[in-house]
Amino acid sequence: MDSGLTTVRCPSANCIAELAFEDVCAAAAADRALVERYDSLLLRQALGSDTSFVWCKNTSCGSGQFHPDGVAAPIITCRRCGSKSCFQHDVVWHDGFTCSEYDAHRRPVNIDTADYLRRYTKVCPHCSRMVEKIDGCDHMVCVRPGGCGSEFCWVCLADWTPIRTYGNSRHNVGCRHYRTDDQPAVNNYDYDSD
């Protein structure tokens, strides 16, 4: 749970079942701080899915609040610490700039960012969140909170559950990891499980 994941899977070999909240809390009951962190992560995930809820951008605050007016009233003042943030841009308030001026100022940066995203990220096939691969194997997880928790192949975007269960024949045809049961492993290493 240190990585921020909220989905906890059964620790038994070859079992992919997700544990219920009560089971996770019971298993971690001896470590109250761990249970509180898990509960906090679940709360953040639930609140994060509500488009009118915003977290304070002051990194030392940690509070959040509902802002039902949305972009019609873009300045949010945190009720806890008083810090101001921008609802439209999800950043600390851009003093001296209206939202339109801030957009114009950021446009060149956005072009560079879009180019980077096009080159180094892919869209999760389940929730459409951008996922970046930094290193390691091609077994990807759309990390929670924020992501959906689904697992897929970086190369062909195939769902990883059938790959884990039935092997590399479940990759999309054309993927470098795809092979039928009678084909040898690609690149001298096996991707059947991860």
DSSP letter string, 34-91: HHHHHHHHHHHHHHHT-TTEEE-S-TTT--EEE-TTGGGS-EEE-TTT--EEETTTTE
Average pLDDT of the segment spanning 109-113: 76
pLDDT band at 73 (very low <50, low <70, confident <90, very high): very high
pLDDT tens digit sequence for 3-48 = 445 788 888 888 888 888 898 889 889 999 999 988 888 888 888 7
Q: Which two tokens stand for residue 174?
A: 């054309």
Predicted local distance difference test score (pLDDT) of residue 4: 45
Residue 194, pLDDT above cutoff 50:
no
pLDDT at 30 (0 to 100): 92
**Contact present, 132 and 120 (Cβ < 8 Å):** yes
Taking residues 106-121, what's their average pLDDT?
A: 80
Q: How confident is the model at residue 97 (pLDDT cuts 50, 70, 90)?
A: very high
Q: What is the mean pLDDT of the chain?
A: 85
pLDDT of 185 above 60: no
Cα 142 to chain centroid distance, Å, stands at 5
* 186 has pLDDT over 70: no
The model scores a pTM over 0.75: no
Q: In the structure, what pLDDT confidence band is assigned to residue 75 with cuts at 50, 70 and 90?
A: very high
Confidence of residue 183 (pLDDT cuts 50, 70, 90): low
Predicted pLDDT at 152: 95
What is the pLDDT averaged over residues 90-117?
A: 85
